[in-house]
Structure 1
């Protein structure tokens, strides 16, 4: 099964313009852009045949070419990363049995998250779309609550049934935990990891559907699959002590840099 990783990246982010080219400071003092760190994260994944950065912006293209990435240019009309991956697959000359969408703002994504996702798609040949979720530790849960209290959109949470079929994804923190009750030893909140694995047919179907009201309200592309009755498999992955967080807001730069100091990349 030929597997490719596509890293969609756009410069004109609503919440954080120019985000892919924001530089983060590594423990060595070296600076690397967000998109480069995400590309390097993809390079560490085993069992992948090719990695591409997918963008419509020449600044991102030029930066990616400078550090050695393959790049596929897409139109500026792609409304989200899934649509960008679909266009890259259809027009970029990619031959793949499985397409992994690694968001360009998630450099802390451990390679085993993606490897477990790929393995799940190998095991369940009927699955058309899958995405990882990781149970929140106390620090991540506190980040979620801090962002919501400050009126910021942080990460995304997921709820799923006993067969790990997604019920909903949201930028709110669900399920609700009553703060007046005794703190739980295990926090029943799952952080949705911004990675997707699709069969090519699922990507094609996605572009044929219009965005639904839930997708438009939440701004979450994966809800289009749920709104059209498609099963999205949630693959539970283990944090192994690694703090996972995407760069959604300028405030997240310091959070990610703190984690970079604690891990060896």
Structure 2
């Protein structure tokens, strides 16, 4: 099956305006968030094409400056999935699988995306899929500390026995206050990557925004609210730290992780 990776990026982030162009310093020097995300996508094996998708000329110019292909979309797109759906239509993309690597996840390991694409190839009946990563104690502590301080950190996911997504939230779910210290952490970090069938992307644009998507601000809930199947794909960290850039405080966390990866 053919696969295309799209990297939606917008300048007017409510929580962190200009986020895609924030510089992150690593062992290879300073690079923008969008460039680091693009470099992850370019390293994925077996992908036909990678495109940055945006409505902002500043992001377009920066992306083309480091060699990325760019698809321009309208400013009416309300989230990355809508932007990907419009890009597929505008550019006439005909891949069997469309992958949405959100532009704020530069620590996403390549094998997360490869596992997601492999899963979609193995599950022809699944309309959309997304990776989940079991939290370690440090990540769970970061999540709880962010919520305690009124910050929206990472998203968590719960799923059924067949890995079907049940819910996603910016709160830490399930509740962990009564758990003992023994055993694995029962919280899964939702990795901000999606894979879709083109038909599911096209249908997404026709569905209304539901109350859960509106309250949580999570685009993937539109699939669940409209009865579409989304499968979770468990991935392994292999010693790597995964953290998205959601707030300015995350810059230091990501830069520290980049240093550790060198």
Q: Give the shorter-chain TM-score range.
A: over 0.9
d(CA) in 1 for partners of 2:258 and 2:55? 29
The TM-score with structure 2 as length reference comes to 0.98
- Alignment-derived partner of residue 27 in structure 2: 27
Q: Deviations over 1:53-90 (max 9, x none)?
A: 00000000000000000000000000000000000001
SS in 1 for 2:108: coil
Q: Secondary structure at the match of 1:148?
A: helix
Q: Which residue of 2 aligns with 1:243?
A: 241
Structure 2 Cα separation of the partners of residues 129 and 93 of structure 1: 20
SS of aligned partner of 2:130: strand
Shift of 1:93: 2.4
SS in 1 for 2:82: helix
Per the TM alignment, residue 182 of structure 1 is displaced from its structure 2 partner at its CA by 3.0
Give the TM-score normalised by the residue count of structure 1: 0.97
1:216 corresponds to which residue?
214
Alpha-carbon offset, residue 185 of structure 1: 3.1
| CA deviations over 1:125-159 (Å, ceiling 9, x no partner) | 11110000000011111110110010000000000
> 3-state SS of the aligned residue for 1:229?
coil
User: Which whole-Å deviations, capped at 9, do the CAs of 1:186-226 have from their partners, x for residues lacking one?
Assistant: 10000000000000000001000010000000000000000
Alignment of 1:196-211 (within 5 A): 196-211=194-209
Moved over 6 A (4+): none
Structure 1 counterpart SS, 2:252: helix
Distance 1:197 1:33 in 2: 24
Aligned to 1:259: 257
Distance 1:161 1:235 in 2: 12
**Residue aligned with 1:169, SS:** strand
Determine the C-alpha separation between the residues in 2 that align with 1:252 and 1:67.
Answer: 24
In the aligned structure 2, how far is the partner of 1:6 from the partner of 1:34? 15
Gaps of 5+ in 2: none
Deviation of the 1:184 alpha carbon: 3.1
- 1:2-151 equivalences under 5 Å are 2-28=2-28, 30-151=29-150
Q: Where does the alignment leave 5 or more consecutive residues of structure 1 unmatched?
A: none
Residue 95 of structure 1 and its aligned partner are, at CA, apart by 2.0
SS at match of 2:131: strand
